[in-house]
Structure 1
Amino acid sequence: MISQWQNHKVQLRSYVSKRVDDTHAIDDILQDVYIKASENLHQLKSKGSLKGWLYRIAHNTIMDFYRTRHQFETLPDDLIAEEHDDGKQAREELAQCLRPLIAQLPEKYATALQLAEIEGLPQQVIANKLDISLSGAKSRVQRARVKFKQQLMACCDFEIGQEGILSYTEKESRLNRKC
């Protein structure tokens, strides 16, 4: 095996060097190829396929090298981490736009929707605040969402894509609704 390895070593080195941009890693990859070939020699079906078999091992070892290689630079420790943006400000701005539409719903639905979507309370807490069962709170929130959607659809035309809402245009107010 060693003599045959020596016959292909120069060609394998050239093969690896053309595919790996880190000159220091070329010899390490060749060594890994030799180790893998030595450990798996029993898998070689015929001596005539040794060259192709070694190239396959070299190819797989190069792929392993790129999989484990870090594609990013580590940040210095002296950088201060920015505050985590949990979208709270964006939700608050959106809530300001939606509150007037929510307020137009019947009171029991408006309250449930306000607590669930604007304040972000869990439905068990909503049930406790409204003094109703958990299943009653879930039903009320779901009905409120349906009514709110109907109200939005009556006020606006939406363009929806795979990413969500792409744009919207206000419809002309026909039924004296406040949109």
Structure 2
Amino acid sequence: MISEWQNHKAQLRYYVEKRIDDVDAVDDILQDVYIKASGNLHQLKSKGSLKGWLYRIAYNTIMDFYRARQPYEELPEDLVSEEDDTGKQARDELAECLRPLIDELPEKYGTPLRLAELEGVSQKEIAEQLGLSLSGAKSRVQRSRIKFREQMMACCDFEIGQDGITEYSPKDPNRNKKC
């Protein structure tokens, strides 16, 4: 490994120097590359790919160097945490928007969905209230969710992002039903 390292060391140094803004860190990064390469030499598939493998290790080590340097600000000591349930008001508003759509479902599906999703009733309690078995209540809630989703998709176009629904618009603004 040492002889192969010596063959590529000058090129790797140049590669690292061009990508690092701290000239004092170049030797440290090269040393890390050598340590990582010699410790993982058993992972090298063929000797012919050594140069590319060393460059990949160098690239990853450079990325680690920059990740470690990312600046951060200390949080102030007097920072007060927000209330535990800051989304309650938003959920309540959303529930009021969804309630008319749920009301359009047949009672067989609307009641379990309303209890489970809007009122936070457990499925065991739903079973007791509706005179169903627990598995029957679970099935009813699942079928209700499917029917509700179908109703929503028929009513509106949704834009879904990483944080869930980011935008929606009615498919037919003149529709008589509440969407």
**TM-score clears 0.5:** yes
The gaps in structure 2 that reach 5 residues or longer are none
Cα drift, residue 11 of structure 1? 4.4
> What residue is the counterpart of 2:169 in the other structure?
167
TM-score w.r.t. structure 2 length?
Answer: 0.63
Contact 1:127 1:133 in 2 (8 A): yes
Contact 2:159 2:168 in 1 (8 A): yes
Quick one: distance in 2 between partners of 1:101 and 1:24? 65
Residues 1:60 and 2:57 are matched in the alignment: yes
Residues 1:30 and 2:30 are matched in the alignment: yes
Cα drift, residue 93 of structure 1? 0.6
1:1-179 → structure 2 map (5 Å cutoff): 9-35=9-35, 40=41, 53=50, 56-67=53-64, 69-70=67-68, 72-77=70-75, 78=77, 79-83=79-83, 87-145=87-145, 148=148, 157-161=155-159, 163=161, 166-168=168-170, 169-173=172-176
Residue type matched to 2:169 in 1?
A: S
Q: Measured at CA, do residues 58 and 97 of structure 1 come closer, stay the same or move farther in structure 2, by a change above 3 Å?
A: closer
Q: Measured at CA, do residues 103 and 54 of structure 1 come closer, stay the same or move farther in structure 2, by a change above 3 Å?
A: closer
Q: Measured at CA, do residues 35 and 140 of structure 1 come closer, stay the same or move farther in structure 2, by a change above 3 Å?
A: closer
What are the superposed Cα offsets for residues 67-117 of structure 1, whole Å, 9 maximum, x if unpaired? 462474344142444456664322211111222343454545332121112
| Larger Rg, first or second structure (1 or 2) | 1
What are the superposed Cα offsets for residues 13-40 of structure 1, whole Å, 9 maximum, x if unpaired? 2221102233332111122344456665
Quick one: distance in 2 between partners of 1:152 and 1:36? 54
TM-score w.r.t. structure 1 length?
Answer: 0.63
Quick one: distance in 2 between partners of 1:143 and 1:38? 58
RMSD of aligned alpha carbons: 4.2
The gaps in structure 1 that reach 5 residues or longer are none
Quick one: distance in 2 between partners of 1:2 and 1:98? 68
Quick one: distance in 2 between partners of 1:30 and 1:60? 10
